[in-house]
């Protein structure tokens, strides 16, 4: 709808330009917004305010001329001037009802991508395998998964890349420790975190051990079969830990999506050689670096992208350059989205720029760092266990389910055990995911079990419950929407407000995909649930005055239910029919 209003305004501008009211050559970005207060129409544009000056007119005068020049459109019932010169568009109720009917008849809810389908690489999760996955990786995994789902729903081809840290000097220390363990490594690696800490301790305390660890790195890099075997075994176990977390979270990530840093080892020498051939390399303290004029530190000293250390070793950035080239040349991506901590923003800005200058990525490929803030504890400080250790993801999820179980049992003591567990899983895991997704990703956020498990406010329990209310209407009725005839007729104010919100779903999903911002979908679903509540209160459904009204309201309720379910699914949340 916004697009078609933009199009109407564009036509009016063209007409006014031809008539000489507007000067030639204006190409304004036409802005159309949803209004908050529906008595001011459904959409508003500030175009007359923007163009008043070049037109040499008062904004309200130009607004009048624009309205006169707007082509008629059956979807728009009237256009008014408001305040200093805003244009307010009222949508036609019948046209709106028809759009909702089209959505209801479509398994895809009439959601289409604005623009052509693309191949999109989503770089997400990407933990370091030397250690156990911790809360820091939660955000990348959850936010990346939600955006990947939105892209897929819009018809893009999504290629998930779990760029795990499976290479580097810390593996020497782990292999040395592994060699020393007489016990089966499986049992011993049950707790990776502890294993890592023990190896690190030995490394720091024993010079002999440290020497052996360094030697093992060299052997590993040289492809020594025994070292490679141990290294592979270690990574398998670590990846299995990650997979458990993904499955628990209901995230669409599997072994086939893993392409770790080590996958690029064979390309790194060539990356450095190509940079050299392009004249981009310079040596600094024996290291091979790329300097770019626009990147300097606070003192105005140039900042390097180091691609090879003095000892010949390659770095994180070198691997990222190789990965970019692979994603461009082999995966043929149109877009690559990196869901990585905001603190790596500069790394990505610089690496993207080097890749472009070196011609590692094709011209049209978009590289976008989708950064996110830190996850803090309820006290606003970085999330830690009581004794100051890192919180393991799996423990966090266990606690979420436990708390949800107690909560649900308190509300419905009569439910049987299996049902309770199922609900607790959806609510507990859903709450953790939703709490993260509902905040703007760039801000830091406080992890707080009480808030995320509340049945009030913008939370998973609230939305899951809203969905069950719709489901219960149809359960009581004993019929599905497909068996019910009639059509949507928007009379009551609450029906119109709900309808206008339902009609925005496609636009919201497109925004999530374009900007990588799932919180936009969360706010939308929260508002939708709120509007459904007022509709439900004011407009009797099963007790409606006549059949036509009942059918119309049932259709609105059905579309609300499907929109909530689909929206939650895009966020990676399982819905429940009752709770």
**Which of 123, 145, 267, 401: binder of ligand ARG (CB under 6 A)?**
123
Q: From residue 431, how far is each of 10, 401, 455, 462 by CA, in Å?
A: 44, 9, 10, 10
| Inter-residue contact 196 to 134 (CB < 8 Å) | no
> What six digits make up the tokens of 211?
């020497």
Applying CB under 6 A, which part among 37-45, 125-133, 357-365, 571-579 lies near ligand ARG?
125-133
Residue 402 neighbours by CB distance under 10 Å: 13
Rounded Cα distance, 26 and 55, in Å: 10
Nearer to ligand ARG by Cβ, of 340 and 431: the residue is 340
Q: Exposure string (b/e) for 105-118, b if CB count within 10 Å is 16 or more?
A: eeeebbbebeeeeb
Nearer to ligand ARG by Cβ, of 101 and 341: the residue is 341
**Which of 42, 156, 320, 495: binder of ligand ARG (CB under 6 A)?**
320
| 3 state SS of 414 | coil
Nearer to ligand ARG by Cβ, of 99 and 139: the residue is 139
- Residues 6 or more apart whose CB falls under 8 angstroms from that of 320 comprise 347, 348, 351
Rounded Cα distance, 428 and 404, in Å: 5
Q: From residue 579, how far is each of 243, 445, 463, 511 by CA, in Å?
A: 28, 28, 12, 31
Least separation in angstroms between residue 338's CB and ligand ARG is: 6
Nearer to ligand ARG by Cβ, of 150 and 242: the residue is 242
323 binds ligand ARG (CB under 6 A): yes
Q: From residue 125, how far is each of 365, 401, 437 by CA, in Å?
A: 22, 22, 15
Nearer to ligand ARG by Cβ, of 30 and 129: the residue is 129
Least separation in angstroms between residue 262's CB and ligand ARG is: 12
128 binds ligand ARG (CB under 6 A): yes
Applying CB under 6 A, which part among 58-66, 88-96, 121-129, 421-429 lies near ligand ARG?
121-129
Least separation in angstroms between residue 63's CB and ligand ARG is: 49
Local structure of residue 72 (DSSP, 8 states): P
126 binds ligand ARG (CB under 6 A): yes
Least separation in angstroms between residue 137's CB and ligand ARG is: 7
304 binds ligand ARG (CB under 6 A): no
Nearer to ligand ARG by Cβ, of 305 and 499: the residue is 305
165 binds ligand ARG (CB under 6 A): yes
Convert residues 261-280 into a mask of x (bound to ligand ARG by CB under 6 A) and - (unbound).
--------------------
CA-based diameter of the chain, in Å? 89
Nearer to ligand ARG by Cβ, of 318 and 575: the residue is 318
Nearer to ligand ARG by Cβ, of 82 and 315: the residue is 315
- Residues 6 or more apart whose CB falls under 8 angstroms from that of 98 comprise none
Whether the CA torsion 71, 77, 81, 86 is positive or negative: it is: negative
Token pair 């709106």 is at which residue? 96
Least separation in angstroms between residue 128's CB and ligand ARG is: 5
**Which of 340, 437, 499, 564: binder of ligand ARG (CB under 6 A)?**
340
Q: In this chain, which residue has its C-beta nearest to ligand ARG? A: 126
163 binds ligand ARG (CB under 6 A): yes
| Inter-residue contact 322 to 267 (CB < 8 Å) | yes
> What six digits make up the tokens of 246?
């993904």
> What six digits make up the tokens of 393?
């993801």
Least separation in angstroms between residue 400's CB and ligand ARG is: 23
Nearer to ligand ARG by Cβ, of 79 and 133: the residue is 133
Residues engaged in binding ligand ARG (CB under 6 A): 123, 126-128, 163, 165, 320, 323, 338, 340
């Amino acid at each position: 709808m916004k697009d078609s209003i933009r199009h109407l305004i564009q036509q009016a501008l063209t007409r006014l330009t031809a008539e000489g009211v507007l000067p030639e050559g204006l190409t304004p970005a036409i802005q159309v917004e949803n209004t908050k207060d529906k008595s001011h129409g459904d959409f508003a544009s500030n175009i007359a305010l923007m163009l008043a000056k070049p037109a040499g007119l008062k904004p309200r005068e130009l607004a009048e001329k624009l309205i006169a020049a707007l082509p008629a459109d059956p979807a728009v019932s009237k256009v008014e001037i408001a305040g200093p010169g805003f244009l307010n568009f009222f949508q036609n109720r019948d046209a709106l009802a028809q759009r909702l009917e089209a959505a209801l008849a479509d398994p895809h809810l009439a959601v289409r991508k604005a623009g052509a389908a693309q191949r999109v690489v989503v770089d997400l999760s990407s933990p370091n395998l030397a250690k156990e996955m911790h809360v820091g990786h939660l955000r990348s995994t959850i936010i990346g998964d939600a955006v990947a789902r939105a892209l897929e729903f819009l018809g893009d081809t999504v290629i998930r890349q779990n760029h795990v840290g499976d290479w580097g000097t810390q593996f020497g220390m782990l292999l040395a420790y592994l060699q020393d363990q007489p016990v089966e490594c499986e049992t011993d690696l049950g707790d990776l975190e502890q294993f890592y800490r023990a190896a690190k301790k030995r490394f720091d305390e024993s010079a002999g051990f440290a020497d052996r660890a360094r030697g093992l790195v060299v052997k590993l890099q040289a492809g020594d079969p025994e070292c490679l075997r141990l290294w592979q075994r270690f990574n398998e176990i670590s990846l299995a830990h990650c997979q458990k977390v993904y499955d628990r979270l209901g995230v669409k990530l599997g072994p086939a999506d893993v392409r770790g840093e080590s996958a690029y080892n064979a390309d790194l020498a060539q990356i450095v050689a190509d940079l050299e051939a392009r004249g981009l390399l310079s040596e600094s303290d024996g290291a091979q670096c790329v300097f770019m004029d626009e990147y300097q530190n606070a003192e105005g000293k140039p900042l390097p992208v180091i691609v090879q250390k003095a000892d010949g070793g390659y770095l994180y950035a070198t691997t990222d350059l190789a990965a970019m080239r692979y994603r461009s040349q082999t995966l043929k991506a149109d877009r690559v989205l990196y869901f990585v901590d905001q603190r790596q923003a500069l790394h990505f800005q610089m690496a993207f720029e080097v890749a472009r200058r070196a011609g590692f990525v094709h011209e049209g490929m978009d590289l976008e760092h989708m950064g996110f803030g830190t996850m803090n504890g309820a006290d606003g400080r970085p999330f830690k266990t009581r004794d100051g250790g890192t919180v393991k993801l799996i423990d966090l999820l266990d606690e979420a389910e436990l708390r949800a179980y107690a909560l649900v049992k308190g509300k419905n003591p009569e439910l049987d055990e299996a049902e309770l567990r199922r609900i607790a899983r959806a609510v507990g895991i859903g709450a953790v995911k939703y709490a993260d997704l509902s905040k703007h990703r760039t801000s830091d956020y406080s992890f707080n079990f009480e808030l995320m498990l509340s049945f009030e406010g913008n939370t998973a329990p609230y939305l899951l419950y809203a969905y069950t209310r719709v489901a219960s209407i149809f359960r009581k009725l004993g019929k599905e929407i497909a068996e019910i005839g009639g059509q949507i007729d928007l009379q009551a104010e609450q029906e119109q407000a709900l309808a206008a919100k339902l009609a925005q779903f496609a636009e919201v999903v497109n925004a999530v995909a374009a900007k990588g911002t799932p919180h936009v979908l969360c706010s939308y679903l929260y508002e939708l649930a709120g509007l459904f509540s007022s509709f439900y209160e004011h407009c009797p459904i099963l007790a409606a005055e006549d059949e036509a009204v009942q059918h119309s309201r049932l259709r609105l309720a059905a579309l609300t239910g499907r929109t909530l379910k689909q929206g939650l699914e895009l966020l990676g949340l399982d819905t429940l029919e009752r709770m």
